[in-house]
Amino acid sequence: MVMGKLRKVSEKIFTPAALYMQKRGISPNAITILGFIISVAACGAYAYRHVLLGAFFILASGLLDVLDGAVARLIKDVTYFGATLDAVVDRYTEFFYIVGMALGGLVDWAVACFALFSMIASSYTRARAESSGGLKNCAVGIAERQEKIVILVAGSILYLCFDKALLVSALALTLLGQITVGQRLYYTYWYNKKRGLRPAQ
């Protein structure tokens, strides 16, 4: 939630980069796909226990996730397909981050599964709230995508002096993800109750 507010500020910072991409004819969707490819690289880095390299790739893919939207708005090319592609790719990137850590033995597989479930569940709750819950925007909750990236990168850095740091990060994502689900469900309930909305027939 906090990082979500900073996203708008970061987009302004990335405006020069967005202008460069525009001049080079690089589309927002191409940037999204590049972020996906880098997330696969992050998976490989963690699988071979190159933790700092993995953290670098996570940061890079996260920055591209901000940049694709900035470019789309700059060139007025915001499309339904682009928004859908971005959301789907975000779920894949989260999958590769966590699976890479599990493959490298940095996180137990059971914990990895719970972390993945929580991350996907919080995103799915938002998607359902916006598609059939009567909300135009349900970007609420303690752990949005930016917070997830910060937690994983912080865990990667702390891993240098504490070998359970990424396990703690995965457990934190599990807990915060479920809290976010609850927050989004409550917000959807409160929004609909306040406005007396009912499902469309």
Please list the active-site residues: 90
Give the pair of three-digit tokens for residue 87: 């959301």
From residue 43, alpha-carbon distances to 92, 94, 102, 129, 157 in Å are 11, 10, 9, 30, 16
Residue with tokens 């990168």: 153
Query: What is the length of the chain?
Result: 201
From CA 198, how far away is CA 201, in angstroms rounded? 9
Give the pair of three-digit tokens for residue 37: 């490819």
Neighbours of 79 (CB within 10 A): 11
